[in-house]
Amino acid sequence: MKTSAFVYPWDVNGDPDAARRIADLGVQQVTLAAAYHSTRALTPRHPRHRVVTAEHAAVLYPADEQRWQGRELRPYSAGGWAPGDAYGEAATALADAGLDVHTWVVLAHNSRLGAEHPDTSVVNAYGDRYPWAPCIAQPATRAYLVDLAAEAATRPGAHGTELESLGWYGLAHLHAHDKTAGVGLGEAGQYLMSLCFCADCRAGYGQHGLDADELARAVRAALEPVWRGEATDDGWPTVEKLLGADPAAATRAHRDATARSLQEAAVAAVREAAPAGFQVLLHADPVSYHCGANAGVDPAHILSVADGVVVPCTGGAAPVRPFAEQGTGIVAANLTVVRGMGGSPHTLAADARAARELGATELRLYHAGLASDADLDAVREALAHV
């Protein structure tokens, strides 16, 4: 199976051995970050540093000033963690090592954008803003995300892209020192706490026959048993039970239509800017009401739009099946291979076989830069037998 490893530019730049080390794992491709959110990352083998702090979401290359001139919403440049054309420098080294380089582009996940432009953020039923989560129903935000996708995805020399967070972001997010696990929200609570009530979403609910004020009151009432620790969680049936089947369906209709149209526009913009044969994949979850980095999608729809999907499989490969059943496109199983992050590099060969049996056509490994030497040794051994 074709296999790609995720990499940050700071894993490669300044380390003359990094590109060859990654190639020697047995992967054919790297998915290299070109636009990324804030993070704090270990670099356990780098000769010059051990911890990189990316202070805010940024593009890791020089943005096109002509594209962004005069626009209020525009990408932020990276600081010292990725100076200059950090992406381009790393991409060149990786390509010289014989690896196929694809871009990794994080879109609707940007805390600095929310801090500096609070009106762009998702607003929950209580009026709380989520600065890490741009609301994808807002026209200006959508225009920004589509243009960012087109620019960041099609870096020189890239043969494809993987678009992350191209959909709704919600409550679930490791935001600084996260303290949101005190109440078990479950899928239903997460959905209700992720419903947006900004002006554009309120208008969107109205188009589906809902009064936004009444809906917000209903959401708050529906969440009361969750706060008391009394709610059972059955996924979507619980949302329908707590909110009512018709209002629940109307909220989902608004959100699904919004996400689909954004995904269609972003993929079309990337293809327009890219050379022939450029591959466009989305990080995706097969349950359309799920929020987060792996955007909830309808498998049939997204595989009619993009060339394929990257599917989270660290908890098991079952999410692969709904995509594979469509019988079209690339279905890449994303496996965490860093033990300290809940991954299992020693079971990679078995996990890859299980994913392939469910219809996966490729593998993604998270993350070549974060893994220990022992983890990488296990990956190298496993890939020799996949």
Confidence of residue 229 (pLDDT cuts 50, 70, 90): confident
Tally the domains of the chain.
1
pLDDT at 234 over 90: no
Confidence of residue 240 (pLDDT cuts 50, 70, 90): very high
Could you please report the per-residue DSSP string of 339-376? Answer: GGGT--GGGHHHHHHHHHHTT--EEEEE-TTTS-HHHH
Determine the Cα–Cα distance for residues 280 and 282; give it in Å rounded to an integer: 7
Asked, for residue 167, whether it belongs to a domain, the answer is: yes
Asked, for residue 187, whether it belongs to a domain, the answer is: no
**CATH number reported for the structural domain that contains residue 160 in this entry:** 3.20.20.80
Flag the least confident range among 21-30, 183-192, 195-204, 302-311: 183-192
- Give counts: helices (H), strands (E), the chain: 15, 14
pLDDT of residue 238: 93
pLDDT at 3 over 80: yes
Asked, for residue 194, whether it belongs to a domain, the answer is: no
Confidence of residue 358 (pLDDT cuts 50, 70, 90): very high
pLDDT of residue 299: 98
pLDDT at 230 over 90: no
DSSP label at 193? Answer: H
Asked, for residue 217, whether it belongs to a domain, the answer is: no
Structural domain harbouring 364: 2-111+133-179+262-383
Confidence of residue 12 (pLDDT cuts 50, 70, 90): very high
Asked, for residue 224, whether it belongs to a domain, the answer is: no
Q: Give which of 337, 295, 340, 343 is closest to 319, Cα–Cα.
A: 295
pLDDT of residue 73: 98
Q: Give which of 166, 98, 159, 149 is closest to 310, Cα–Cα.
A: 166
Q: Give which of 296, 51, 50, 341 is closest to 174, Cα–Cα.
A: 341
Determine the Cα–Cα distance for residues 255 and 186; give it in Å rounded to an integer: 19
Q: If you average pLDDT over every residue of the chain, what do you get? A: 96
| Per-residue burial over 334-343, b = 16 or more CB atoms within 10 Å of its CB, e = otherwise | bbbbbeeeeb
Confidence of residue 200 (pLDDT cuts 50, 70, 90): very high
The burial class, CB within 10 Å (0-12 / 13-18 / 19+), for 244 is middle
pLDDT digits (tens, 9 = 90+) for 44-94: 999 999 999 999 999 999 999 999 999 999 999 999 999 999 999 999 999
pLDDT of residue 177: 72
Alpha carbon 114 to its chain's center: 17
pLDDT digits (tens, 9 = 90+) for 296-345: 999 999 999 999 999 999 999 999 999 999 999 999 999 999 999 999 99
The CB-side HSE value for 11 (13 A sphere, CA atoms) comes to 25
Cis ω before 175 (30° cut-off from 0): no
pLDDT of residue 130: 96
Asked, for residue 251, whether it belongs to a domain, the answer is: no
Asked, for residue 196, whether it belongs to a domain, the answer is: no
pLDDT of residue 201: 98
Could you please report the per-residue DSSP string of 251-289? Answer: HHHHHHHHHHHHHHHHHHHHHHHSPTT-EEEEEEESSTT
pLDDT at 184 over 90: no
pLDDT at 377 over 90: yes
Confidence of residue 181 (pLDDT cuts 50, 70, 90): confident
**What mean pLDDT comes out for the span 159-175?**
91
The burial class, CB within 10 Å (0-12 / 13-18 / 19+), for 174 is exposed
Which pTM value belongs to this model?
0.97
pLDDT of residue 158: 98
Alpha carbon 147 to its chain's center: 17
Asked, for residue 236, whether it belongs to a domain, the answer is: no
Determine the Cα–Cα distance for residues 178 and 307; give it in Å rounded to an integer: 35
Q: Between 31 and 177, whose confidence is greater?
A: 31
pLDDT of residue 172: 83
Confidence of residue 183 (pLDDT cuts 50, 70, 90): confident
